[in-house]
């Protein structure tokens, strides 16, 4: 299996001021090494403050590590200039955040189209409409994000992350603000993406992630446990279509699965 | 999805920030445009005032011209042309010239188009005994004016019709004459045509009759003993010298004496009045120019201050906008937007605010300029008239200043660490 994401002895520390005068260094990520193959769904769980978000931002070429190396699709994004790194991110990486980070003054459709601001995307509008339909949000296309439920917002954020067909999808606590049903839907979609050949790295508290992830790693005190090597069976996902509830969403995701399956040939 | 869509949507979403920005830009633009409009209106008003004053002066001077002409008529004559051999001692002792010259001299003088004399009146004057009343009087034979300029020229002295006489005031009072009375003079009957008002000089004992009749009565046919040259318009200090110089070419066997200096003093006064009127206009112009300079000086301080204040305010609003959009910026960076795209978002936004401010401010400034005072219609229209150079300057400068004001916040936005914003819960 091709390694899509490789972290080599990755460390990230922050300098913090304590009690207004004393400065100390906080090691958020401590010499983490991890390899994630194409089509793999890896979950990282751990308590709050263990460095999960720092890990995912560093992996996503958004946060320069203090030491170590990040390779995405064989390329070190931190060796690139800021603008080249931005292009690299746009071309290769998709993000899903706990707070969704939908732009409040844009419609749902425009939010999904937002990645096209970075550069042209062939058939962006059609792709966005397809994704909205796929996530059961076609009828919400013209609405502002404030009009959506939390589940709908996260699905819109997921659609946005998928617009450019990224190789790597990074999700930071994507289910933290969602109820059980919507959380399951999001995790299934991530699993679907992995089954379609994409790479997914999810950091989460959600114990359900274990059900969808090919590998579930534990992070504690900035250290990652059980991260060595590639999994032997990354396709050991529960088929998300079999567990879906709710008519419209179920149909839409199912259609995506068929599309993914047919593309896999 | 294009950047401009994001920019417009954001402007519509954060209306208060946008409106405050437009307001600050428009206030600065309105002040600049309004100040220019007020100055233009002021200039138009100045032109109007000066034109009115000039017209008023022209009218006053025209009225004065007529007044002085009449005053001069009452006072006597400006220049008296006498035969060259006339003794001035005798003239002053006798009150009339004892030497004579041809009446034709008057015509020759008039036809010469001499430039310093406007009116030519030939006269025959002699002190006589009025036998019918046993009074010594000055007999003055005058004829109608010999036109210098044209037959339409307004005469200085009304001609005395044959068979009529005009009496000096004292003479008429003593002899109890009134207009319409008949009286005999040296055997001829005359009708009193007019009694002159008291002048306090020898005119008060003068009898004016027609020149031809006087020549007959005094047995001096075809001759006169003086030519009265009136309303001499010589513009040099040495008036008499100039007139003498001219007349020596035309009438070599004559002499010229200044006559009725009081009239000349009046003429000088008239000239001084004209000079004073011109000075008054110049003073008015200078006064208005001084006020204009004061306004310009005030504007030179106020305008940069206002523009700077507006720019600072706009910069603050842009900074607030950047702060409000920290997470959005982090997301856009995560989505792959480059530094110059982030700069473009914020600088375009500032430029749009500047442009909107320029539109509103330009209109408001013109309106402000027009409503500043209650002038006549012409200056108000002048203030409202478009000034293409000013319009171009405003519509270029306002977005430019707005971009400058938004530059620092845009740079802060572009340099913002996306990870920090995205980590915030």
Q: Are B204 and B197 in contact (CB under 8 A)?
A: no
Would the pLDDT of A230 be above 50?
A: no
pLDDT value, residue A258: 33
Q: Which pLDDT does position A22 carry in this prediction?
A: 65
Q: Parallel, antiparallel, or unpaired: how do β-strands A223-225 and A215-220 relate?
A: antiparallel
pLDDT tens digits, A16-41: 776 666 677 888 898 999 999 999 99
Q: Count CA atoms closer than 13 A to B236's CA, side-chain side.
A: 10
How confident is the model at residue B332, as a pLDDT?
Answer: 93
Task: Flag whether pLDDT at B390 surpasses 90.
Answer: no
pLDDT above 70: percentage of residues in chain B = 83
- How close is the nearest chain B Cα to the Cα of A104, in Å? 8
State the pLDDT at residue B50: 83
pLDDT at B230 exceeding the cut of 80 = no
User: CB distance B336–A115 less than 8 Å?
Assistant: yes
- Which residues does A171 contact at the CB level (< 8 Å), separation at least 6? A56, A95, A96, A97, A190, A200, A201, A202, A203, A204
Q: In chain B, what percentage of residues exceed pLDDT 90?
A: 39
pLDDT at B355 (0 to 100): 95
Q: Is the pLDDT of residue B67 over 90?
A: no
- CB of A249 less than 8 A from some CB of B: no
Of A98, A115, A172, the CB nearest to B335: A115
| pLDDT tens sequence across B338-370 | 999 999 999 999 999 999 999 999 999 888 877
pLDDT at A82 over 70: yes
Across the A/B interface, how many CB contacts are shorter than 8 Å? 87
pLDDT score recorded for residue A250: 35
How far apart (Å, rounded) are the C-alpha atoms in residues B425 and A76?
28
DSSP classification of residue B98: S
Of B5, B13, B338, the CB nearest to A86: B338
Q: Chain A partners of B418 at a C-beta cutoff of 8 Å? A: 62
Calculate how close chain A gets to B412, using CA atoms only, in Å: 15
The region of weakest confidence among B80-84, B157-161, B354-358 is B157-161
CA distances to A234, B106, B228 from B79, in Å: 132, 13, 6
Band (pLDDT 50/70/90 cuts) for residue A246 is: very low
Torsion of CA B19, B21, B27, B28, to 10 degrees: -160
A232 pLDDT tier (thresholds 50, 70, 90)? very low
Q: Which residues of A touch B331 (CB under 8 A)?
A: 95, 97, 101, 103, 114
Give pLDDT tens digits for A94-134: 999 888 899 999 999 999 999 999 988 889 999 999 999 98
Q: Is A124 an interface residue toward B (CB < 8 Å)?
A: yes
Kind of pairing between the strands at A41-45 and A199-204: parallel
pLDDT score of B236 more than 90: no
* Pairwise CB contact (< 8 Å): B14 & A90: no
The whole-angstrom separation of Cα B386 and Cα B119 is: 55
Q: Does residue B5 sit at the A interface (CB-CB below 8 Å)?
A: yes
Min Cα–Cα distance to chain B from A29, Å: 15
- Chain A residues 205-224 within an 8 A CB cutoff of chain B: none
Q: Given A97, A117, A118, which is nearest B422 (Cβ)?
A: A97
Assess B337–A contact: CB distance below 8 Å, yes or no.
Answer: yes
CB contact set of B312 (below 8 Å; sequence gap of 6+): B405
pLDDT at site A227 = 52
Q: Which residues of A touch B1 (CB under 8 A)?
A: 110, 113-114, 116-117, 124
pLDDT, residue A81, reads 92
Q: Do A86 and B13 touch (CB under 8 A)?
A: no
Which H or E run contains A152? helix A150-162
* Chain A residue with Cα closest to B333: A86
The token pair that represents B232 in the structure block: 């001499």
Contact A87, B333 (CB under 8 A): no
Residue with the bigger pLDDT between A260 and B64: it is B64
For residue A221, the model assigns a pLDDT of 87
Dihedral pair phi/psi, residue B271, rounded to 5°: -65, -40
Cross-chain CB nearest to A110 (options B5, B340, B419) = B5
| Mean pLDDT confidence for B250-261 | 79
What does the pLDDT read at residue A206? 82
CA distance, residue B352 to nearest chain A CA (Å): 18
Give the model's pLDDT for residue A229: 43
Which are the contacts of B402, defined by CB distance < 8 A and separation ≥ 6? B21, B25, B311, B314, B350, B351, B353, B354, B355, B357
Q: Verify whether the Cβ–Cβ distance B340 to A83 is below 8 Å.
A: yes
Burial of B15 (0-12, 13-18, 19+ CB in 10 A): exposed
């Amino acid at each position: 299996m091709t390694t899509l994401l490789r972290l080599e002895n990755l460390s990230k520390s922050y300098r913090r001021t304590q009690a207004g005068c004393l400065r100390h260094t906080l090691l958020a990520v401590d010499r983490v090494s991890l390899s994630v193959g194409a089509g793999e769904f890896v979950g990282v769980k751990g308590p709050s403050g263990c460095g999960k978000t720092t890990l995912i931002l560093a992996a996503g070429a958004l946060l320069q590590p203090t030491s170590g190396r990040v390779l995405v699709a064989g390329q070190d994004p931190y060796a690139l200039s800021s603008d080249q790194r931005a292009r690299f991110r746009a071309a290769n990486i998709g993000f899903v955040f706990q707070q969704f980070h939908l732009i409040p003054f844009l419609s749902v459709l425009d939010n999904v189209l937002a990645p096209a601001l970075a550069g042209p995307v062939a058939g962006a509008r059609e792709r966005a409409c397809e994704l909205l339909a796929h996530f059961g949000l076609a009828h919400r296309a013209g609405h502002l994000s404030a009009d959506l439920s939390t589940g709908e917002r996260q699905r819109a954020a997921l659609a946005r992350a998928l617009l450019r067909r990224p190789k790597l999808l990074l999700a930071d606590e994507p289910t933290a603000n969602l109820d059980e049903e919507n959380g399951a839907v999001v995790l299934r979609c991530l699993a679907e993406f992995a089954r379609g050949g994409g790479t997914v790295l999810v950091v989460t508290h959600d114990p359900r992630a274990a059900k969808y992830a090919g590998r579930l790693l534990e992070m504690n005190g900035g250290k990652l446990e059980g991260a060595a090597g590639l999994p032997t069976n990354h396709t050991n996902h529960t088929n998300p279509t079999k567990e879906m509830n709710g008519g419209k969403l179920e149909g839409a995701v199912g259609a995506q699965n068929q599309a993914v399956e047919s593309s896999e040939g | 999805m294009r950047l401009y869509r994001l920019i417009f949507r954001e402007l519509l979403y954060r209306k208060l920030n946008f409106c405050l920005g437009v307001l600050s830009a428009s206030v600065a633009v309105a002040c600049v445009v309004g100040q220019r409009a007020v100055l233009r209106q002021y200039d138009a008003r100045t032109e109007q005032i000066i034109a009115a004053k000039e017209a008023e002066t022209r009218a006053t001077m025209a009225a004065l011209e007529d007044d002085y002409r009449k005053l001069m008529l009452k006072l006597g004559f400006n220049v008296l042309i006498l035969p060259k051999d006339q003794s001035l001692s005798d003239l002053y002792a006798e009150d009339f010239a004892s030497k004579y010259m041809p009446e034709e001299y008057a015509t020759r003088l008039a036809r010469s188009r001499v430039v310093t004399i406007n009116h030519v009146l030939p006269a025959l004057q002699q002190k006589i005994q009025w036998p019918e009343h046993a009074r010594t009087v000055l007999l003055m034979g005058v004829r109608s004016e010999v036109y210098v300029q044209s037959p339409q020229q307004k005469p200085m002295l009304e001609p005395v019709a044959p068979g009529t006489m005009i009496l000096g005031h004292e003479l008429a009072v003593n002899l109890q004459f009134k207009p319409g009375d008949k009286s005999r003079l040296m055997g001829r009957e005359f009708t009193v045509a007019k009694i002159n008002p008291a002048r306090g000089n020898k005119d008060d004992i003068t009898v004016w009759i027609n020149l031809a009749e006087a020549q007959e009565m005094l047995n001096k046919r075809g001759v006169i003993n003086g030519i009265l040259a009136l309303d001499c318009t010589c513009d040099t200090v040495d008036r008499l010298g100039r007139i003498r110089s001219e007349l020596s070419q035309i009438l070599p066997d004559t002499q010229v004496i200044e006559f009725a200096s009081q009239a000349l003093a009046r003429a000088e006064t008239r000239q001084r009045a004209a000079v004073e009127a011109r000075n008054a206009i110049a003073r008015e112009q200078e006064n208005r120019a001084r006020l204009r300079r004061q306004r310009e000086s005030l504007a030179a301080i106020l305008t940069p201050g206002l523009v700077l204040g507006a720019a600072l305010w706009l910069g603050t609003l842009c900074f607030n906008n950047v702060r409000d959009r920290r997470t959005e910026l982090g997301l856009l960076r995560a989505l792959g937007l480059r530094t110059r795209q982030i700069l473009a978002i914020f600088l375009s936004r500032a430029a749009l605010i500047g442009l909107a401010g320029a539109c509103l401010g330009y209109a408001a400034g013109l309106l402000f300029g027009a409503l500043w005072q209650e002038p006549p219609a012409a200056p108000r229209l002048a203030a409202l008239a478009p000034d293409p150079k000013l319009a171009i300057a405003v519509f270029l400068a306002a977005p430019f200043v707005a971009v400058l004001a938004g530059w620092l916040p845009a740079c802060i936005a572009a340099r913002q660490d996306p990870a920090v914003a995205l980590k915030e819960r």
